[in-house]
Each structure stands twice: as C-alpha cells, then as structure tokens.
Structure 1
Amino acid sequence: MSPNTSSTKTRGDSSDQPPRKDIDSALVKAHLAGDSSAFKALSDRYRDPLLFHVRKITRDEGSLEDLIQEIFTKAFENLDKYNHDYAFSTWLYRIATNHTIDSLRKRKMVTLSMDAPISSSDGEVAREYPSSAPSPHDQLQKKERAAHIHQAMESLPEKYREVLRLRHFEEMSYQEISEALQLPIGTVKAQLFRARESLMKALKDTMSQY
C-alpha cells in the first residue's frame, strides 16, 4: 500500500468516528433502556471536566467531591428529561452550575446565622471572627456573575456554546478542539471569534449592573 493510500485511509478512519454528541446521546439512551454501565461511562467521560468547571465557580477544594457526586446524582435522577436535540454536555453543565450556585447560597445563609449576636448578661455582643478572605456577600456576587455568564452562553447557538466551553472551561488548545469537533483549525478560530462577539452582546445588559 502506498503512503498516499495509507494517509487517505487514516483520514477516512478519523472522519468515521462519531461526534461526541452522538456518543453521549447513545449512552443516555442505553441507560434509559436498562444498561447499568452506560451512566458510569457518562460519568467517567465528564468527571474531570466537571471538576474543573465546578472548581472555577466555588474555589473550595474541600467541597468539590461532594458537589460532583451530588451533580451526578441529580443528573442520574433527571436523565429521562434530557432533550437529545441539545448537547448532553450543555445539559449537564447547566445542572452543575445551578446546583453549585444553590449550594453557595445555602452556605451563605449558614454564615449569616453564625454572625448573629450572642446574648449575654450584659446584652448582645457581636461575634467577631478574624478574616482575610472576601466577605460571603462578595463571594456570592462573584459566583452570581459566573452564573450570568453561563446563562448568557445558553442563549448562543450550540456550536458556539461548545467551542467556548472547550476553549475557556476545559482550556483545550485550538488543535485539541479541532480534533474533538473534527473541524479545521481555521474554522475553530472563526467560530470562537464569532462566539465571543455573540457572548459579549448577550452579557452587555447583564454585566452593566456590576
């Protein structure tokens, strides 16, 4: 077999690989059909990307493992509601973002309770805690800004959401994105440019309040 023939075959084999969306959709359908290993396969595919995604929102290493487990549990319980017209990754990341923000809000309520004054024979004495970290209010604002960004991304076409997620959340190189989406690097760069422009337009009104 000549080198040219071999090279052509290799490119053909690569193009025959199913897109990520099709693989995810097939695994979801297999799970709903009773395949007990299908959801584990989905979890294995998305565990590391989810860790990175949630870490960017919460910045709390101590709660990461619990949050990831809770997110996968919530996804497992609601998998029958997943719409196959959209990327599974988009659906899963929406669950992850909402659950993480909810967790942060609940944690803020506990913090506010701890800040309540202490009753004593001399009246009420304010609790005093040394702190070098941002206040819970500042932290919550930061997380809510992140949530607004994710909500703005939801308004974009799926191809723009996917390329933004791979580049900015999974920190993949242009080459890695090109291979993952089976697109030329030039197309990846062009889609990223248009995706960023569209995202900034979607964020314009939301971010003006910060």
Structure 2
Amino acid sequence: MIQMDTRLAKLARGGDRAAFAELVELYRDKIFHLAYRMLHNRHEAEEIAQETFLRVYTNLDRYDENQKFSTWIYRIGTNLCIDRLRKRKATFSLDAELNEGEGGDWYNTLASPEESPDNQVVLSETQQQIRESIETLPEKYKAVVILRYLQDLSLQEISDVLSMPVTTIKTRLHRGRDFLRKKLEKLL
C-alpha cells in the first residue's frame, strides 16, 4: 500500500499544487518543531521549515518513492539545522569591530540566553533543565537524541535520515543519554 504522503509527492511532482500544499500541511508543524528543538530559536526554526519545503519542492524529482517520504523530509530538515548550527559557531569574534552607528560593544551582538516570558511560564524547571542539557550535547549526539526522543523516530528512521548505520545511531544515542544523565545528575 502506498503511503498518503508518497502519493501526494507523486502528484506534486506532476505539478499538482494542491497535493504539495497538503504535504506542507502534513509536515509544517513537525519540521518546525524539529528545527526549534535543534536551534532553540523561533525565527531560525521558521526559516529552516521554509527552506525545507523549498528544497522538497525543487527536488521532488529526486525523491525515491521506495523510501518513506517522512524520512526524506526529516533528512532535509535535519541537515539544514546541522548546517545552521555549524555556521553559528564562528559567528562572533572578541576582536570584531562594529560598524558605525551600531553602538555598544561586541557583547551587545550576542543573542540573549534567556527565554521569552511566555516560554518561561510554559516550561517547568525540570523541562528547562533537560532542554538546556540537550542544548549542550555535542552535535553528533544532539540530532540523534532530538530525532529519537522529541520527534519519536525509530532507530531505522534516524539511520535513514542521517545516512548512518543503525549501530552508529545506537552508539550515539547511548553516549548522548549518558552525557545527559551525567549533566542532569549534577543539576538535580
């Protein structure tokens, strides 16, 4: 039996805009939440979701109907998030000079580590600690932990999304859990 999203992808590939709109509707929230959990920034998550759907649309002819559509779209979204995280690391320099009119010093260009007031209300203290601990995970563990526990993907699906053997996924998941456990034991 062909999955509904695979059928929609076939129709969209043939130029059916309504079918593509249905795919967007099916995956919009899932891709946004994946990006938000990886990037912890609503604006960037929205950009990643848009870029994911743009890439899906422009690459529909490359989609292999023998694999699950969800795996394909999650792979695109995850890779875009990983690319964004890599670019973030080298963004600021202590020696950077500000352009005229920017005022202040380099410290003012850093993003605030604090949550918005509405997020502070929503998240319990424990959830906040877990989220902060996930944020500190090394990249190679972070994607696996988020896809497994926050997106609820199976090990095989994560393997397909990240193009890695299941054994590597298991190892990274185990090491990521150990990292989180040790971090949380110190906090709690």
| Residue matched to 1:15 | none
Give the secondary structure class of the aligned counterpart of 1:37: helix
2:143 aligns to what?
147
CA deviation vs aligned residue, 1:64-92 (integer Å, no higher than 9, x gap) = 21121111101111111111111100110
What is the identity, as a one-letter code, of the residue corresponding to 1:169? Q
1:124 corresponding residue in structure 2: none
Q: Tell me: CA distance 1:111–1:144, structure 2 relative to 1, closer, same or farther (3 Å).
A: farther
Cα deviations by residue, 1:12-56 (Å, 9 ceiling, x for unpaired): xxxxxx7xx611111111111121211111000111111111111
Please, which runs of 5 or more residues in structure 1 have no aligned partner?
1-17, 119-126, 154-163, 172-191
Is 2:186 aligned against 1:204? no
Matches for 1:2-151 after TM superposition, within 5 Å: 22-112=3-93, 115-118=94-97, 129=107, 133=113, 142-149=138-145
Give the RMSD, CA atoms, in angstroms.
Answer: 4.0
Cα distance between partner residues in 1 of 2:15 and 2:70 = 21
Q: Once the two structures are aligned, what percentage of the paired residues are identical?
A: 27
Q: CA deviation at 1:60?
A: 0.8
Ranges in structure 2 where 5+ consecutive residues have no aligned partner: 98-104, 115-133, 158-164, 180-188
| 1:42–1:117 CA distance, 2 compared to 1 (3 A) | closer
User: What letter corresponds to residue 82 of structure 1 in structure 2?
Assistant: Y
1:62, CA displacement in angstroms?
A: 2.5
Aligned length: 143
How high is the TM-score relative to the length of structure 1? 0.53
| Shift of residue 208, structure 1, vs aligned partner | 5.0
Letter of the aligned partner of 1:50 in structure 2? I
Change in 2 beyond 3 A, CA 1:201/1:69 = closer
Q: Determine the C-alpha separation between the residues in 2 that align with 1:37 and 1:194.
A: 31
Give the whole-Å Cα distance in 2 for the aligned partners of 1:82 and 1:61: 28
- The Cα of 1:203 is off from its aligned counterpart by 3.0
TM-score (ref. length: structure 2): 0.59
Distance, in Å, in 1 between the alignment partners of 2:144 and 2:68 is 20
